[in-house]
Structure 1
């Protein structure tokens, strides 16, 4: 029976504990022979990540017991943490990085003696230590090649990065000198190497401050020298300061494939490794890649017959098979509408991770011979009746100067409740992180947590988001804190003007760069009644003066402008400098081990707001970094957020702890 109740006060079976139990998604898929492996989150196990193995008979089992945690902290965001190969006898051989000590380990899961993983690399007491990512396992050479991030001092920018070879015999486990460096450190950032089929050439990408990898990277090619020697005749064959090469791979026939945005869109090209001449294999105003935040992301994977599996689209990204000879793409059938940046190929099989508005991310296999796609791992099961899931709308709004703003709108929805006819619902604008990110249109129980209670959600892919071409990304150049704030406000205000949302009950929330947008919105607009601000950037001057990790330490030159030329802009746009203009209530959430957005900024913001009469709460989380992985943290933060909305919007929400708001 459907009952009438105010928006926001509806009862829902989707509680915070259920959301936390389903936090995260499978990632970093790979194949070892006919087996499929991937990294899976375990929020209930202190937020660790484990390897999961799907055997040839279809059985699926966690491969590494607690407390093993398969993750690395390369550039703090990490990179692909594992690789594996099949062997003629003895089962597969794997290497992976362990989060607690950041060492690289070798592991033989079918060892009849039940041997534990053995370390391959040493521990360094200097700064952030030694970190390894994007491994290429080469047992025939007795090595694993990967990105090495080595701290040379205690500061976050005291670091160098190279491609290195680690011996598989364990001789480097206590001896840094046994690690062989294959490149020099002339470039600040590198991705993992890709070896040509004949073993004679290698390719990778590199870039330097102040650029981020979606601004400009270089495609490097080198010759593989003899045993014990570094790469030879290193040369740049594509890319530059205004061209982003997001991924590079060798095809089985020895040709070099790369995704570059030289046309204004990330398209797949065949690149001559000698001359750099590039041929666009599918010229479309679509993206065949996304922002390459971490080494090891894969939006395309060459197949043995000459075709290429590609993740592509404008906005939403789907899986297709590209014929390079004709430029035609045939998309995989099935309910999945969004594919992540992880693909693996084994023979004629393509494996990836995909979701839809009705299903969470699961491991999906496409048989290119039959065209059949099926979920084979981390299969979605409905934790509650799907009738409680939201029904999203894809919309394009008009922002300032007539510019397009892309968004996903999730109206309140419940099979049990309806609201009084004369009431409009509260809405929360979600600003994604990055800011070079994108909100995918997929089932997210965190969204359903609010919509099933009668609170609408608007995910805004504001100017600067990926998925819509380089010009759309570049709207944020020197206008961070302006374009993102304006675009989010345009969506919120349009929803209010058209009668979709209650203008008096609008909120905004976001984490990281989304936290910045939320805080900046409170400091510069009167659109919102409250905000949830998670692990944010709040003070640009501190950020620019060594107050963050190395990867983004010069990012503000793009987002704001050179500090020496526009110092006032850094002060004027910082929410911390505008704390006196904040009049709306807010919740501030911060992980105490966050190296990207350190707690110091949140602490100063809370101190600046104390005693000013604005209701707010500042919650900190032990053992959490940039983003919350532990189930308990997710529960606490979600319930606090709902309580903030209840108090601000005047809603009675029983059954959740009341958030204490200071003034």
Structure 2
């Protein structure tokens, strides 16, 4: 046995080992029993592809060669695709147009060639349209113009309607379960979204236009993150008004007051560097599956809405991203200091975890890996 001085022993971990067969796992979406996710391919010049996994176990690469599912809205991107009714709509990096496809069809353009970019879309089933962020670069020497627009799902008319304008940035369109109300976030220079954002709600007419605009939360010094509607039509969001990113419920039809769901010294939100981030979702009208960070680490937990009780799940992971809640399951990206990032699924009934994909196949003896310890510093 060879003994070396501290810091001079030869490690089997090299840069070549780390990047070998490595993928960048990204945003997740659920559509019925099917899981979709983004894979970044370093060996394909960083091309992003959409992958699909059916309940049968069939896994397929859905983005054909020549396409790159990536948006440049806000330059950092995110929120480059959505799925609904078994179909996919995605932004193609080369031309920034939206394309629509199924598992068995080639992508078809949904938007025209233009200086527009798209992100963070949702599907409005009642009006057969997409509602998304559009970034207009018509004037290249001026600041890009961000708006919320609607786009016909079947492209029968091709006409886009501007729904929300007048702010420097907009994100997170969310449609109520009955299709009556739309919520979204805005913010303006010089603030970043973790400094100050505003949460707005408006009524959505049958023709797809908005009326009765209301600001329900946020401001210059309050950061709002991830508005969502519960299954019974109540509006939830994460706010840092207490000094911590906590979860709130808003009485949208009465006082418009916001009530903390689970007040604690913990962060339920994350900085909105990109679109499509998610830290919670609804298991039911009375239960939320969420992640939060406190002095004990990062947790995946079930939160009782009426009681405020938080019960963490036992998993092999120490960090969680892109949390998507489906019927009796939650799918997420799980991180660990001793294993590559995993696309994982947790059964909400049994609490068991299944790994569907990892970002790499490299395995290293745990003795060579150092596990970080949390420290706290006064500020």
Q: TM-score range by the shorter chain?
A: over 0.9
What is the match of residue 141 of structure 1? 127
Q: Displacement of 1:8 after TM fit? A: 5.2
* Structure-2 separation of matches of 1:284 and 1:200: 33
Contact kept? 1:366, 1:372, Cα under 8 Å: yes
Matches within 5 A, 1:108-147: 108-110=102-104, 115-124=105-114, 129-147=115-133
Larger relative CO (CA 8 A, sep 6+): 1 or 2?
1
* Structure-2 separation of matches of 1:138 and 1:21: 41
Which of 370, 380, 391 aligns to 2:370? It is: 391
What is the match of residue 304 of structure 2? 323
What is the match of residue 74 of structure 2? 75
Q: Can you list the C-alpha shifts for 1:447-492, whole angstroms capped at 9, x where unaligned?
A: xxxxxxxxxxxxxxxxxxxxxxxxx6xxxxxxxxxxxxxxxxxxxx
Q: Displacement of 1:213 after TM fit? A: 0.5
Q: TM-score, normalised by structure 1?
A: 0.54
* Structure-1 separation of matches of 2:288 and 2:281: 6
Residue 260 in 1 paired to residue 239 in 2? Answer: yes
* Structure-2 separation of matches of 1:260 and 1:295: 17
* Structure-2 separation of matches of 1:344 and 1:201: 22
Matches within 5 A, 1:328-367: 328-340=309-321, 342-367=322-347
* Structure-2 separation of matches of 1:273 and 1:261: 19
For structure 2, the 5+ residue unaligned runs are: none
Contact kept? 1:82, 1:135, Cα under 8 Å: yes
Q: TM-score, normalised by structure 2?
A: 0.93
Q: Give 3-state SS (helix, strand or coil) of 1:44's partner.
A: helix
* Structure-1 separation of matches of 2:74 and 2:21: 26
Contact kept? 2:126, 2:179, Cα under 8 Å: no
What is the match of residue 20 of structure 1? 19
Residue 281 in 1 paired to residue 264 in 2? Answer: no
Residue 196 in 1 paired to residue 182 in 2? Answer: no
* Structure-1 separation of matches of 2:99 and 2:31: 17
Q: 1:2 to 1:35 in 2, by over 3 A?
A: farther
Which one has the bigger strand percentage? Answer: 2
Which of the pair has more CA radius of gyration?
Answer: 1
Which of 131, 137, 140 aligns to 1:151? It is: 137
Query: How many pairs are equivalent?
Result: 377
* Structure-1 separation of matches of 2:109 and 2:5: 59
Contact kept? 2:146, 2:170, Cα under 8 Å: yes
* Structure-1 separation of matches of 2:304 and 2:11: 51
What is the match of residue 281 of structure 2? 301
Q: Displacement of 1:300 after TM fit? A: 1.1
Matches within 5 A, 1:403-552: 403-404=377-378
Residue 180 in 1 paired to residue 161 in 2? Answer: yes
Q: Displacement of 1:192 after TM fit? A: 3.1
* Structure-1 separation of matches of 2:173 and 2:298: 26
Task: Between 158-167 and 242-251, report the one with greater CA deviation.
Answer: 158-167
* Structure-2 separation of matches of 1:6 and 1:333: 35
Matches within 5 A, 1:373-392: 373-375=353-355, 377-379=356-358, 382-387=361-366, 389-392=368-371
Q: 1:387 to 1:317 in 2, by over 3 A?
A: closer
Q: 1:186 to 1:359 in 2, by over 3 A?
A: same
Q: Give 3-state SS (helix, strand or coil) of 2:226's partner.
A: strand
* Structure-1 separation of matches of 2:153 and 2:213: 25
Q: Displacement of 1:162 after TM fit? A: 0.9
Task: Between 320-329 and 50-59, report the one with greater CA deviation.
Answer: 50-59
Contact kept? 1:332, 1:373, Cα under 8 Å: no
Could you say what the CA RMSD is over the residues aligned between the two structures, in angstroms?
A: 2.1
Q: Displacement of 1:388 after TM fit? A: 6.0
Q: Displacement of 1:7 after TM fit? A: 3.6
Q: Give 3-state SS (helix, strand or coil) of 2:24's partner.
A: coil
Contact kept? 1:252, 1:306, Cα under 8 Å: no
* Structure-1 separation of matches of 2:49 and 2:192: 29
What is the match of residue 165 of structure 1? 150
Contact kept? 1:252, 1:302, Cα under 8 Å: yes
